[in-house]
Structure 1
Amino acid sequence: MAVTDATYKFLYVDVGAEGGASDGGTWSNCSVLDAVEENRAGVPQPEPLPNDDQPVPYHFVGDDAFALRTWMMKPFSHRSQVLRERIYSYRLSRARRVVENSFGILSQRFCCFLTTMHQHPDTINLISMYVCALHNLILIRYPHEDPDTHDLIPGGWRSDRHLQGVLPLTGHQTQKDAKDQRDYLSHYNMSPAGAVPWQERMVVAP
């Protein structure tokens, strides 16, 4: 279980839960949950959103596995969503995409996560924690966003020389390659470079 920021860095990592545990069950056993509920997590005080004057609490972004709280926002139910709910759920899903990308970047840079790890579980826990720290250090040195303009630096991690040749091209991995490409195209279509003016209307249309 991990918490990431908008620049794909890991802010909190909890390693060692059983693989069959649900996201909600794993979250309920994380130390950060108690820290948030007991106001020990260092979460900033509520502030107004841009161009507004109503203070809004800082919050985590999660999916349906998490309970709705002022500090944990999740999508509306998929049943009978009105327009404003559809737009909210869409915007929330775009924010959650950053978390998925964080794990994707991590696993592509450190390919041990793409296969079975045969070390002792305690050793795997240590490897996972150290790798998350290294992931953050790499992002500090090679950011995915221009610090001045906030423009995305597209795909820099994909062309890392250490990654060349590690992506499978044939055999039983072909489906994964197709999914990776579809995922890449879906991200491009939502970026400033690939977005079209009417896409939001099409997404939220009944």
Structure 2
Amino acid sequence: MNIVLLALVDDNYCVSYIDVGSNGRSSDGGIFANSSLKKMLENRTHNIPENSVVVGDEAFALKTYMMRPYPFRGVLDRKKRIFNYRLSRARRVSEKFVGILVSRFRLLEKPISLHPDKVDLIIVAICSIHNWLRKTSNYYIRRDSVDTEDINTGEIIPGTWRSELNDQSKKSLRQMGSNNYSRRAEEIRNQYVKYFNGDGSVS
């Protein structure tokens, strides 16, 4: 049985929300739709910074609080491709978070032969320890552990967490599905497109 971890991760690789225990057969979008995180985001009771959004992939619906990429079906114009690229760069944080977690807590590299309820508790404990170490230790995540970008060439330099994962762990960093969105959310996404192609552009 596969167990899904739904986590909201900040730019410092710390977890501000987790929902663990959903069956792996459930869709990621469906798990989010039934989570307390969605309710908190919609009611604005989660403590994400003002004028910020959560970044997701195509498994999640476009919402005023959740940005997702433009679908890759058909041809995207340059501005939309730039938006997708910038969103992809932001989403790398969550990919790196999972990789770092698995490389630091080797228990996660293979199936855990315990009752699902105990596995849920272990995952919660691991995320809590991860946050504590991230905030208190200079050695838990070394500078070379995470991916970095060469500011002169734009090249992504892989972090050591990638080489520390076994093949099965790498396969588990999977891609996800798609969903619908609202007009207001589309307006917000268009504002990001304009910003990424204007004042917020990068070379």
Report the identity percentage.
36
Task: Note the aligned Cα RMSD (angstroms).
Answer: 2.9
SS at match of 1:14: strand
Q: Pick closer, same or farther for the CA change 1:98–1:44 going to 2, 3 Å.
A: closer
SS at match of 1:40: coil
Normalising by structure 2, we get a TM-score of: 0.67
Structure (1 or 2) with the greater strand fraction = 2
SS at match of 1:118: coil
Equivalent residue number for residue 26 of structure 1: 31
The match for 2:131 among 129, 136, 144 is 136
Report the residue type matching 1:72 in the other structure: M
Superposition map of 1:186-205 within 5 A:
none
Report the residue type matching 1:76 in the other structure: Y
SS at match of 1:16: strand
Distance 1:137 1:82 in 2: 43
Distance 2:19 2:124 in 1: 8
Q: Pick closer, same or farther for the CA change 1:25–1:124 going to 2, 3 Å.
A: same
Equivalent residue number for residue 87 of structure 2: 92
> In the alignment, does 2:64 pair up with 1:70?
yes
Superposition map of 1:98-109 within 5 A:
98-109=93-104
> In the alignment, does 2:17 pair up with 1:8?
no
Q: Which has the higher contact order (CA 8 A, sep 6+)?
A: 2
Q: Contact 2:60–2:68 at 8 Å: present in 1 too?
A: yes
SS at match of 1:15: strand
The match for 1:122 among 105, 117, 123 is 117
Which residues of structure 1 form unaligned runs of 5+? 47-57, 146-151, 160-165, 180-199, 202-206
Which residues of structure 2 form unaligned runs of 5+? 1-5, 147-158, 172-201
Normalising by structure 1, we get a TM-score of: 0.66
Mark the structure with the bigger radius of gyration.
Answer: 1
> In the alignment, does 2:148 pair up with 1:153?
no
Distance 1:119 1:126 in 2: 11
Residue 176 of structure 1, CA deviation: 7.3
Report the residue type matching 1:154 in the other structure: D
